[in-house]
Structure 1
Amino acid sequence: MARATPPEPAPEELPRVLLWRWRRNPLRRATDLAQAWIGLGLFLAVLAALPVAMIMVGDTAHAHWTTTARHQMATRHDLPAVLVHDAPRHPEPGSDEAEKALYPATVRFTDPRGHTRTAETDVEPGLTAGSTVRVWVTAGGELTDAPLTPEQVRDRAMGCAVLAAMTVGLLGAAAYAYADHRLERLNLARWEAAWARTAPRWTASR
């Protein structure tokens, strides 16, 4: 009759090391406790600075892009333009890609000063010569992009706010890394000094 194999003993749980720098033990150094408080202080500082930075930068960016959009609306003109030549055709008409594709084509338009101009702009594929498209031009008659929409203003402001939050987090991480490096160098210096005092006695005792 086969003998039953005894169950393997459960592995011993490792002692918890969470927050070990705050726990009293003979191996804890003063620099360990200092590093713990520095880390906690920086963490709380980052948490407090994040919303402030996001709100301040977001509001400033929103005001800036709103002013820019208003200036663009006041200085740019939406005009009709006529294609001089047929626009290229998409190789897959009716596809989702064709609906989003744009091709460069030469157009003719009359600028705000009354001068007839020709320029190249992006148009939908398959348009024939003589088709009318809308273009945005500056007061001087140069083709330009459409003014920023409210959605674009909002998205740019949100992007700046997110960038500000990332910057605050990176600054906090950099400050902690610098403090950790300095404390590590201090530990090494103290260890070398202690070894310099202990080594002669240790070697002499042998």
Structure 2
Amino acid sequence: MRAVRGLWRWRGNPLRRTTDLVEAWLALVALVLVLVVAPLIGAAVGAATEGALQRSVREQRHTRHEVVATVVRRLNRSPLDPDPETATARDAHSHVLANWAGPDGTAHHGAVLADLEQPRPGDHFTLWTDSHGHLVARPLDTLTATTHAVLAGFGSAAAAAGLVEGGRRLLVWRMVRRRYARLDRAWEKAGPDWGRTGTGA
């Protein structure tokens, strides 16, 4: 709105300089870019990210399998384990030695993190493995993928808007510097007597 008012104000003003008009047009163009182009960039990036992440979700659902593991024994706490008094629900895992069978029927044995607070030998818990029974991370779910895509879209739109505004400010700063340089040259031409030379004053 300020950009439109600026253009209207300088439209027929006899004191208007070329830089004033350029500055008002820059503000208007920046406003249009921020309100129209930045959201379009955000939507495009969000859609592209959503497509890539949803493909990843489908691929992980086919290649990762949830299997049941059996606790053999609990392992001693590592010094890197979180303090039980300050641990969050996400940290409520125990180091255990466990047995499990992969989707291909192969037997596996090793130290893993179990989502059990007090694991005892014979307790069961679930793990995620690949087709050969090797441990992998839990597959990405659809909601998380969509959330990441939305955040990527908003981030891209904000970054685009910031670049536009930063570019506008940089151009205005350079115009102001040039304006002051021209003003300094004009004062130098006027001389130390402020333009009264030869007037007999």
User: Is TM-score (shorter-chain normalized) higher than 0.5?
Assistant: yes
Q: Give secondary structure in 2 for the equivalent of 1:79.
A: strand
User: Displacement, 1:55?
Assistant: 2.0
Q: Give secondary structure in 1 for the equivalent of 2:126.
A: strand
Contact 1:66 1:153 in 2 (8 A): yes
Contact 1:112 1:139 in 2 (8 A): yes
Taking structure 1 as reference, are residues 188 and 142 closer, same or farther at Cα in structure 2, changes over 3 Å only?
Answer: farther
Aligned to 2:103: 112
* Aligned partner letter, 1:36: A
Aligned to 1:9: none
User: Displacement, 1:78?
Assistant: 0.8
Aligned to 2:9: 23
**Within-5 A mapping of 1:80-99:** 80-86=68-74
* Aligned partner letter, 2:184: E
Note the residue ranges of structure 1 that are not aligned, 5 or more in a row.
1-17
Contact 2:23 2:172 in 1 (8 A): yes
Q: Give secondary structure in 2 for the equivalent of 1:81.
A: strand
**Within-5 A mapping of 1:135-146:** 135-146=127-138
**Within-5 A mapping of 1:1-206:** 19=5, 22-24=8-10, 28-86=16-74, 101-106=91-96, 107-113=98-104, 114-200=106-192, 202=194, 205=197
Contact 1:82 1:129 in 2 (8 A): yes
User: Displacement, 1:124?
Assistant: 3.0
Taking structure 1 as reference, are residues 191 and 104 closer, same or farther at Cα in structure 2, changes over 3 Å only?
Answer: farther
Contact 1:119 1:143 in 2 (8 A): no
User: Displacement, 1:163?
Assistant: 1.1
User: Displacement, 1:154?
Assistant: 1.0
Taking structure 1 as reference, are residues 36 and 155 closer, same or farther at Cα in structure 2, changes over 3 Å only?
Answer: same
Contact 2:93 2:115 in 1 (8 A): yes
Taking structure 1 as reference, are residues 204 and 140 closer, same or farther at Cα in structure 2, changes over 3 Å only?
Answer: farther
Aligned partners of 1:98, 1:192: CA distance in 2, in Å? 65
User: Displacement, 1:138?
Assistant: 2.0
Length, aligned pairs only = 184
TM-score when scaled to structure 2? 0.77
CA offsets 1:33-73 (integer angstroms, 9 cap, x no match): 32121011111122111331122111111110011111111
User: Displacement, 1:176?
Assistant: 0.9
Q: Give secondary structure in 2 for the equivalent of 1:143.
A: coil
TM-score when scaled to structure 1? 0.76
Aligned partners of 1:149, 1:84: CA distance in 2, in Å? 30
Q: Give secondary structure in 2 for the equivalent of 1:146.
A: coil
Root mean square deviation, CA, Å: 2.8
Aligned to 1:11: none
Contact 2:94 2:117 in 1 (8 A): no
